[in-house]
Amino acid sequence: MASGRTRAARLALCGSLLLLGALQVAHGEDRARPLVLWHSYRGAEEAALLQTLATLAAREPSLTVEVIAVPNEALASKLTTAIPRGHGPDLFLFAHERIGGWARAGLLASLDAQVDAAALADYLPETIPPLRFEGRLYGLPLAVKSAALFYNRALVPTPPATTDELFALVAPLRARGVVPLVYESANFYFHAAWHLGFGAELLAPDGSFHFESPASVAALGFVADLQARGVVPEEVSGALVASLFNDGKAALAISGPWFTGELARGLDFGVAPLPLVSATGRAASPLLTDEAVLIPGTVRDLAAAVRVARWLTGPEAAITRAVVGRQVVAARAAWDDPRVAGDPVLAGFRAQLATATPMDNRPEMRTVWEPAQLALKKVLRGAASPAEGARAGARRHASIVRPDPPPVSPTLYIAALAVALLAGAGFVAWRVVAALRERGAWREARRGWGWIGPAMAATAILILFPFVVGLTLAFFSHREGNWSFVGLGNFADILSARGYGLLEPLSFYYALLVTLLWTVLNLALHVGIGLALALLLARPVLALRPVYRVLLVIPWAVPNYITALLWKTMFHKQQGAINGLLGALGFGEVGWFSSFPAAFFANLCTNAWLGFPFMMVVALGALQSIPKDLYEAADVDGATAWAKFRHITLPLLRPAMIPAVLLGLVWTFNQFNVVYLVSGGEPDNGTDILISEAYRWAFARQEQYGYAAAYAALIFVLLLGWSIFSARLARRVEEAS
């Protein structure tokens, strides 16, 4: 019987391994037949794409295309990892901005041999240069996207042609309670239009970004002026742009083609190019994104892929994409179609094309966003003059692009790892041999392994393997798909705070201090509020207790990111409920995300709201298990209410509360959602905790995965130390009570 069980367990294990293997094979198997296309289009754009592909399938049955939709946020990293391993698509749709990095990493097929100059003449001329990198062509253009000026015809019959005209709109519009212009002013994507309009450049030829150039500083000064003179409101989010413009509370909006999908039906609006910058006489120049069909270098049938790409970017497909998908298409011939040419919105964006500036497709471009936005936000919230803001941006930029740690030879590390593995294996073998010396132990052990095998396999695959991979990454540096072994370099960089001051945002120590403050204050609030409510709820005289109990557990039951987003909205400077309440009470507006204390407080409120129910439930359970007799004995002994709380309630709650606090500490320490969603690290990453810093290094700062993994490893070490300490503490408490 026992051996039968063992066999069954072994079979199950083999079966699951086989299944895994089969999946692996299926994944890597020859997919020559249909061409695989990855994209991240949604809604009308996806519908248009599928429609054009259906037409193609009917037209050319030999060219079948399998379409896989990948979420936009995941597409780039999926491509970066899948293509080198041969798991990538045969062609994919992506904005041109990553071409430089991918081309440099050899992930893209050059199309120069496949597409001649005559073919390129089929496209609007502005759409071709962005697809070149170091002289070679890497894609065919589908459509362009840039910001342009939306105007509400009822409020502004003709859009302002210059920024002076824009300023002139303030008085008449404000008099009617209308905001002249809304756009996400703290977003560098939109700010780039002014930046370029003031004559600043995006990236210098050597790939550097000149934050402190006079033109760049002037552009910062200009947006500060826009805000100060009432042209634009403060703290504008994308949702606010749509709601103000839709409600007729804003006359102008700067946004892209996607904005039309958010506009109310029947709103009479037009799209025009952005105004000239009066100070320079140059047009404000929004960033141009060239959406293209790109082909991985690993493609098996390049000619077939190019044929599909030519079809997708060709005039027939382009007309469908323009009409159905509302795209500003790159195919020149499509604009001869009256349905495309006659569309005022498309025409408006086409007109903007003349003065738009293609996003630089070099990888260096991606280092610019965070520092540029840091500078912008600093200036917009009045925390810095334009020059100071620019300086802060430059400094942040230097931190992010600091050179990687030098590559080191892995020999020593491999040797150390080998020694450690040998020692580990030796220790295990020694234990096993010692354990098996007993009579019958072998049979016992075999049976035991049969039982725990599946769980161990699952643990190894789901926990141990990712953990080891993560830990390994910490010893590498990652740039644009290239990994180099740097040994302990990442750790050394983090612990020496290389690239930034020891106690300024981005420093490990700063983030650690913030994290500790965050954890301690949160726990104090969770326990304090939870305990107080539990004491109230435990009073048998309280009517409707079950109702309160349910209500108070709700914050816990709602998914925490929803709660976090709600609180974020409530803390909005102009539209938020909290400032509304403060205003009603006669207080001024608080910029909740413009200073560390306020932003930290906002995070704290949100997390306190999320965290107290757990402590309340634990405390309530523990309170109800305290025998009533003890309170009566204390009554007879002469105890006051406070003495009973201090000498009976508190000490008897302790055994239940301490494990809850130890757990809560780990949860709070790693409470990513609240920090990321509420303050988002504002101001200037000042409120980021360790875990959200690690996230930013991995996903917002050039995919410095190795550095982020080292961060995660340090967090792990901290929490491991804490767990060991807290386990001892818990044991001591248990023994004491």
Partner 1 sequence: MSVVALEQVEKNFGATRIVRGLSLVAEAGEFLVMVGPSGCGKTTTLRMIAGLEAPTAGTIHIGGRDVTALPPKDRDVAMVFQSYALYPHLSVFDNMAFGLTLRGAPKQEIARRVSEAARILELDALLTRRPKELSGGQRQRVAIGRAIVRDPKVFLFDEPLSNLDASLRGQMRAEIAGLHRRLGATMVYVTHDQVEAMMLATRIAVLEGGELRQVGPPQELYHRPKNRFVAGFIGSPPMNFVTGVVGARGGAPVLETRGAALALPDAARALAAGARLTVGIRPHDVRVDGSAIGSTVGFGGEASIVEPMGWESYVHVKTEVGTVIVRIEGATPARPGDRLGLVLPPTALHLFDDAGHALAHPVAQPPPVEGAGG
Binding site for partner 1 (CB under 8 A): 627, 629-630, 632-640, 643, 647-648, 651-652, 654, 736-737
Q: Which CB atom, from 134 or from 632, has the smaller least distance to partner 1?
A: 632
Are 681 and 375 within 8 A, CB to CB? no
Integer Cα distance of 369 and 701 in angstroms: 9
Best CA proximity match to 139, nearest among 311, 3, 30, 294? 294
Residue 47 or 648 with smaller CB distance to partner 1: 648
Q: Based on the number of CB atoms within 10 Å of its own CB, is 263 exposed (0-12), middle (13-18) or buried (19 or more)?
A: middle
CB of 652 vs partner 1, minimal distance in Å: 7
φ/ψ of 587, rounded to 5, equals -95, 160
Task: Spell out where 88-245 has E strands.
Answer: 91-95, 132-133, 136-137, 139-145, 148-152, 179-182
Q: Which is nearer to partner 1, 214 or 627 (CB)?
A: 627
In the complex, least distance from residue 732 CB atom to partner 1, rounded to whole angstroms: 13
Side-chain half-sphere exposure of 356, counting CA atoms within 13 A: 30
Locus of tokens 């994290």? 515
10 Å Cβ neighbour count for 468?
A: 11
Nearer to partner 1, 50 or 630 (CB): 630
Closest by Cα among 181, 271, 186 to 237 = 186
Instruction: Please report how close the Cβ of residue 637 comes to partner 1 at its closest, in angstroms.
Output: 4
* Nearer to partner 1 among residue 512 and residue 630 (C-beta): 630
Q: Which is nearer to partner 1, 73 or 632 (CB)?
A: 632
CA distance 169 to 166: 5
CB 615, min distance to partner 1, A:
20
End-to-end CA distance of the chain: 46
Query: Minimum distance between the CB of residue 648 and partner 1, rounded to whole angstroms?
Result: 7
Q: Which of 296, 301, 309, 294 is nearest to 56 (CA)?
A: 309
Tokens linked to 435: 């354990």
**Residue 736 Cβ vs partner 1, minimum distance, rounded to whole Å:** 8
DSSP collapsed to 3 states, 471-492:
HHHCCEEEECCEEEECCCHHHH
- Do the strands 250-255 and 276-277 form a parallel or antiparallel pair, or are they unpaired? unpaired
Token digits of residue 575: 């539209």
Task: Tell me whether residue 153 or residue 646 sits nearer to partner 1 (CB atom).
Answer: 646
Which DSSP string do the residues of 181-212 spell out, in sequence order?
EE--TT-HHHHHHHHHHTT--SS-TTS---TT
Residue with smaller CB distance to partner 1, 578 or 639: 639
Q: Which amino acid is at 399?
A: S
The CA distance from 335 to 343, in Å, is 10
